[in-house]
Amino acid sequence: MERSLALNDYEIEFSKILEWLKKNSAKKILVQAPDGLKKISRLISEKLEEEGYEAYLSGSHAWGGCDIAVNEARTMGIDTILHVGHHGFVGARTTEVRVLFVPVHYQGEFTDALVNALEDIKRNSFKKITLGVTVELHRRLHEIENLALKSGFHVETGSLENITGLIIGCNYASLRDAEAVLIVAGGRFHAIGAALWMGIPVWRVDPYLKSYEKVDVRPIISRRLRDISSAMDAHSFLVVVSTKTGQARPVLAQSIKKRLLRENRKADIVVIDEISKDVLLNFGHYDAYVNTACPRLTIDDPDIFPGPVINPGELKYVLGKKLEGYDSRDLFRFDFSTGA
Ligand code: SF4
């Protein structure tokens, strides 16, 4: 029998979870969810207890499939993590504990906002668009695509890890060549990432607020150019490494440090779980920071670094001491070798 859980327009296929848990002989389960879905994790945990499982709630943020609560699982002797709201692993896979990714499906209505966004794109004379959605909306992709086709658009949609149209905050590979991009996702976060990756006009529809807008990433690009320019003159660097499962890049940090030392600059490496300004300030002044953790920190939250910050892919501009040809895709890249 198909059983699903529903909360505030979200649906979860609970029978599939039970089936998987039984097949994998799970006993002690940690339910982990991003902050906005913590109430759903509570609902799941209560249902699991009713089914005879020992269930625990994870209180950590759960930023993405890169952030699996392995330490909490270890502390509680957990054998299985149910990770709610993300599509799968990002970065390294966790092998220490079994993980089931549990997508939630958004059921709410947002047609009017979508129609208005499509009309706006048309007014700007774009005919060929590429679509991107977050995992909770991937089942609505056909609906979105059909409406765009009916409105006369040529639509290109790719896929990420076999999920059609899927985008995540640090991967926009599913977007295809087009004149404009349409992102359907809550907030501006994913649309900003798409604009930085694609470098073409991006519209976003917020299915929760039933609104749409064209995004403007010029302030972000100008901040990037400013930080890179400042880092060119920096003598001391702090290279930041995250301990999060899919964000930890110790080898990359070591090679960045070596490269900076070769340039007669000073460089230290700091290892942190939750990166914050307070933690970084404890180490005193550095002229610049290199963020090897989530690339979005540099884009969306650069002020948590007490000085100019660059991502690994931007190091080549710092080392080459020139901004010409700056490509905002480098924000998402971890290779700085072309600056060697
Ligand atoms: S954008 Fe950042 S938080 Fe989100 S999946 Fe990528 S690394 Fe993780």
Q: So what's the pLDDT on residue 340?
A: 36
Which helix H or strand E contains 99, and what residues bound it? strand 98-102
Kindly report, residue by residue over 8-38, the tens digit of the pLDDT: 789 999 999 999 999 999 999 999 999 999 9
**DSSP class of 143:** H
Ligand 1 center–CA 294 separation, angstroms: 5
Residue nearest to atom 2 of ligand 1 (CA): 294
User: Measured from the CB, is residue 202 less than 6 Å from ligand 1?
Assistant: no
Ligand 1 mutation target, pool 86, 168, 332, most atoms within 8 A of CB: 168
309-310 and 28-32 as β-strands: parallel, antiparallel, unpaired?
unpaired
d(CA 191, CA 185): 8
Which of 2.60.120.200, 3.40.50.11840, 3.20.20.70, 3.40.50.720 would CATH assign to domain 4-106? 3.40.50.11840
Residue nearest to atom 1 of ligand 1 (CA): 169
DSSP alpha helices (H): ranges in the chain?
14-23, 38-50, 70-76, 111-123, 141-150, 189-198, 218-232, 250-262, 277-281, 296-300, 315-320
pTM, rounded to two decimals? 0.94
Q: Please check whether the two domains, 4-106 and 219-339, share a CATH topology.
A: yes
180-184 and 202-206 as β-strands: parallel, antiparallel, unpaired?
parallel
Query: Under CATH, which architecture does the 111-216 domain have?
Result: 3-Layer(aba) Sandwich (3.40)
Q: So what's the pLDDT on residue 295?
A: 98
Where in the chain are the domains? 4-106, 111-216, 219-339
Q: So what's the pLDDT on residue 312?
A: 98
Place of tokens 């945990």: 45
Residue ranges in the chain whose pLDDT is less than 50: 339-340
Q: So what's the pLDDT on residue 339?
A: 42
Collapse the DSSP code of 154 into the 3-class scheme (helix H, G, I; strand E, B; otherwise coil) and give the result: strand
User: Measured from the CB, is residue 290 less than 6 Å from ligand 1?
Assistant: no
Q: So what's the pLDDT on residue 187?
A: 96
Instruction: Name the fold adopted by 219-339.
Output: Rossmann fold (3.40.50)
Q: Which atom from ligand 1 is nearest to the alpha carbon of 293?
A: 7
Ligand 1 center–CA 67 separation, angstroms: 8
Give 130's strand partners. 156, 181
Q: Which atom from ligand 1 is nearest to the alpha carbon of 91?
A: 7
Kindly report, residue by residue over 169-202, the tens digit of the pLDDT: 999 999 999 999 999 999 999 999 999 999 999 9
